Amino acid sequence: MRGMGNMQGMMKQMQKMQKDMTKAQDELNASIFTGSSTNDLVKVTFTGDKKMQGIEINPELIDPEDPEMLQDMLVLAVNDAMSKINQVTESTMGKYTKGLPGF
């Protein structure tokens, strides 16, 4: 009989952990992350679930003779935002997956 009590306790702990994970993921998804390029010439905003919310481009960067510069700045800004999202996701969700196989 004692083993059943431990099993029920473990199940309650797992349910609580799952609820906490879902809450943490929801909060993370609702968070806003800003990425920027060199000198903030381009800024992008994303939600934690990696949906773009906005983009700001400094008008000085728009040069019809040099579209590659704008493209490069966009890539830098987006990659910066994705890196921030990944770092926060790892630190937030990692505490739930640490030690689990496959994570």
Rounded Cα distance between 65 and 68, Å, is: 9
Percent of the chain scoring above 70 in pLDDT: 90
Hey, what are 71's tokens? 């493209």
pLDDT in tens, 12-53: 988 998 999 999 999 999 999 999 999 999 999 999 999 999
Domain ranges of the chain: 29-94
CATH architecture classification, 29-94: 2-Layer Sandwich (3.30)
Query: How large is the average pLDDT for residues 49-68?
Result: 95
CA–CA dist 38, 48 (Å, integer):
22
In the chain, the percentage of residues whose pLDDT exceeds 90 is 70
pLDDT of residue 103: 54
